[in-house]
Structure 1
Amino acid sequence: MAFNKVCLVGGNGNLGTILLNGLVAAGDFTVTVAKRASSKSTPGAGSSVEQITIPDDMNLAGLTDALRGQDVVIASFPLVDVNQHLRLVEAAALAGVKRFIPADFGSCDAASPNARRLLKLYRDKDLVRHKCEEIAAANPAFSWTALVCGHFFDFGFHDGLLHFDLENKTADILDDGSVRASASTLRRVAEGTVAALRRPEPTRNRTLYIQSFCRSQPEVLAALERVTGVTWTRRTIDSKAFLEEASRKLAAKYDKHTMEEIVFVLGALEADWTKEEGFAMELLGLEDEDLDQVVAEVVAGLGK
């Protein structure tokens, strides 16, 4: 089995843009972007990318009609409304799609009891993954692949998620800093996605774990100091107290920043994919990226 037609739902976001570029650059696929009817964005404009229109409310009938003829559907839009993602899985199966890739990606694993306990986001991701499993069990023509990549390393510097402040040269280190965690650049997520689609059978109905590297926070800090030529200020954070405080705030009132603070901790302390049965770097033909090189790219990009 080989995949030809790949449809990306959410092609203009931070990850979606990189996924789109990676799929097009691979040269293996006819790439389509699904746009909501009211959207004014033009992802892939001027390239060979095709476009289809899906209903704003993402109703099942409209999605099913729009997705007919596609071999693969990739969800790369935020998991704000889990029902939209659940309908997208169902519509893909009804439309005859062969492979579905849910919006799993980063920073944590939806299989983690701690992530599900603390955040609705990962309970929702788990629901979507179970929906994929349920439909695949009943419909052998349908399959899924979930890609889990840890923190988006390069983007995590831009939005502050990783707690490395390039402007002020400060770094927040959790506890003694001894824990290593897998993280991925956005391009690595695209590379992993393309590699998985090029290997339909060994990636069928599996959760795959990928990374750019697996390093501790002090190792990342040391790379930053080498690249910037400056000694940074290191601040130590008690992860248990930090999580308890953030959880109290989130329980009192939902706030995206507070939610991301919890994600920051979980993605730094519970994301060593090298220990997972589904660690797929060798399977996908991927090798770790060079930490110093990636950090240099990040620093140069933030300096623009």
Structure 2
Amino acid sequence: MAAARIAAPAPGRPTPLGWAETSGFAYLVPALVLVVGFFAFPVVALLLKSVTEPQLGLHNYAELFGSTTYLKIFLNTFVVSGLVTLISVVVGFPVAWMLAIMPRRWGQVIFAVLILSMWTNLLARTYAWMVLLQRTGVINKALMSLGIIDQPLELVNNLTGVTIGMTYIMLPFVILPLTGILRTIDPAVLQAAALCGATRRQALTSVLLPLAMPGILSGALMVFVMSLGYFVTPALLGGTANMMLAELIAQFVQSLVNWGMGAAAAFALLVITLSLYALQLRFFGTRRVGGA
């Protein structure tokens, strides 16, 4: 008892634990410095360049949104991003469902193939698609040998090639979160739906899809946002005639050395991306978008 009285702190003096609780904000300082230094400061600098170069004002934004050429590039970006997202979800859902229900050993093999495809160099994968999609490539030769087409299809230097190449690259970003969600669904739920008289289509649309919606939303959001700012694949498979927004920004900065227009286009892309994300959070909530 005496030892306890000696070790007890004096009344009114903060204990070490109390000091840690009151100064817990100190643990957030490294994260705040990282966010401010690598996100907030560059965004502010980007905004300042967009309204100060070559002169003060909003003329860069007026030119960006007032030109039909730049608006066509915006349209190309959204059309391709939407198509890539839609195709990735439609193709990725059956693959994710197969991974969720198949034996674990085979599932691990297919999962390893998906991971290895993500680890493969992006430039190498894009050049591989250039070889496959060209007029004398494997795809055109196979279709002609089967008698499906008479003339080679134009699959490169257009938005078709960009959509195909980007869909291949984005598919794992839909399959991985979807697989995690589908594996948490109890098979007894689908069995109960069948016992209640639901057909396979009804079980899919009324039971499985609503339960898998968190994974679908998170994967679709990730793919769409990444597609909006993609550069390598559209630059190699699309060409200058079918430019997307990321290519336009690179051309402003590298070729034209027009930092004001490049910053305006980049800031507009950032605002559009954050607005779409906020809109999805508004209608679907953080739990469903995050896959909780």
Greater relative contact order (Cα 8 A, min sep 6): structure 1 or 2? 2
TM-score bracket, normalised by the shorter chain, equals: under 0.3
Q: What is the TM-score with the length of structure 1 in the denominator?
A: 0.22
Which structure has the bigger radius of gyration?
2
Between Structure 1 and Structure 2, the one with more strand by share is 1
Between Structure 1 and Structure 2, the one with more helix by share is 2
